[in-house]
Amino acid sequence: MDSTMRQCASCSRNLPRSSYSTNQFSKGPGMSRCAGCVHGHHVDTPLTSGFDSGRYNNSDKASLPIHELDNPFAHGAFRWVAKGSYTSGSRNGQACVVKWFKTGAVFEEDYFTLDIKAVNKALEIVNKFNQLNVVNKSVKINVPSVWAFTRDASAHWAGQRVLCEPFIQNYQKFNSNTGWSDESEAWGEVMQALSHFSYHISSGQFVLCDLQGGIYQNEVVLSDPVILSRNRDYGVTDLGPDGISSFFSQHHCNNYCRSNWAQPMNPVQIFRPVPGTTMMRRTVPTRHSRPMETFYEL
């Protein structure tokens, strides 16, 4: 597998090809603008200089045994997850994971644009949270890249696009996108505080949630974050204003929340709080059948 990264000419972030439309990417380095900048769908700003909470591939190649792909070791609401190992860069020999859609093969990088967009927003929020020193340890975000299986892969996999990121040990879930949370240990409370902080720092526009990952000695590493937004700009797991309201209907401030952090007035539970990730697809209105006299010109 390999990857292609490019710096956006507008926001200066180093982003994978999936963050650009085909037209923008064809303009070349120094000219390409990411989808968020072109369409104005985000309020992201460049990361604070010298402060980055991302955990990156630091590699451009990986190897996955075919039995791992045929029998994925894990899965989420709509993705399969298989385990491999890096074969280049500073992570050479370390474990990685690849993720792909349950619905079938993907050969276009644009399918992952919203995933990368959500991670970028999560990274922006986590950077600010870490700067507050709410706890004496760090929160990290796994930053995936869109990679493709090379031609020497099996006929079924060659050319397919997947997300690749470092493997996380001791994986567990801290909260969901409907308000469910596990605060049985301190890190669970910290994650709830992070979700609360995301609403406060964004002036009520976003909630970072569905927080899951692994606890390490000096940090927690998160993966597959969900962003709830006022305009539902972050895909099928973005439950919009109803999701934000539901989340805070279940939230009770703990020792890691700060009293000055804003929260919605009189939040209402709209979604049932469950551990799994809830999806809400966009719908279109139905129409009555056409009259029998209607015909089509060929």
Q: What is the pLDDT of residues 55-65, one digit of tens each?
A: 999 999 999 98
Please tell me the total count of domains within the chain: 2
Note whether 209 and 85 are same-domain residues: no
How far is it, in rounded angstroms, from Cα 164 to Cα 227? 20
| pLDDT tier for residue 85 given thresholds of 50, 70 and 90 | very high
Beta pairing, strands 206-209 & 226-229: antiparallel
Residue 235 is inside which H or E element, if any?
A: none
Q: What is the pLDDT of residues 144-158, one digit of tens each?
A: 999 999 887 777 888
| Predicted TM-score of the model (pTM) | 0.77
Look up the CATH number of the domain holding residue 243. Answer: 3.20.200.10
Note whether 103 and 237 are same-domain residues: no
* Mean pLDDT, residues 112-116: 91
**Which of 118, 148, 166 represents a domain boundary (last residue)?**
166
Look up the CATH number of the domain holding residue 97. Answer: 3.30.200
Residue 106 lies in a domain: yes
Note whether 72 and 92 are same-domain residues: yes
| pLDDT tier for residue 23 given thresholds of 50, 70 and 90 | confident
- Number of Cβ atoms within 10 Å of the Cβ of 46: 11
Q: Provide the 3-class DSSP secondary structure of residue 2.
A: strand
> What's the half-sphere exposure (Cβ side, CA atoms, 13 Å) at 15?
37
Q: How many contiguous H segments (helices) and E segments (strands) does the chain have? A: 6, 15
Nearest Cα neighbor of 160 from 147, 178, 179 is: 147
Q: Bridge partners of 95?
A: 85
Q: Residue 39 pLDDT > 70, yes or no?
A: no
Note whether 61 and 140 are same-domain residues: yes
Residue 95 lies in a domain: yes
31 lies in which domain range? 5-166
**Which of 137, 166, 195 represents a domain boundary (last residue)?**
166
**Residue 166 phi, psi (nearest 5):** -60, 145
Note whether 52 and 73 are same-domain residues: yes
Note whether 158 and 200 are same-domain residues: no
Note whether 119 and 28 are same-domain residues: yes
Cβ atoms 196, 251 nearer than 8 A: yes
pLDDT at 287: 52
pLDDT at 1: 40
> What's the half-sphere exposure (Cβ side, CA atoms, 13 Å) at 246?
22
Note whether 225 and 121 are same-domain residues: no
Note whether 86 and 228 are same-domain residues: no
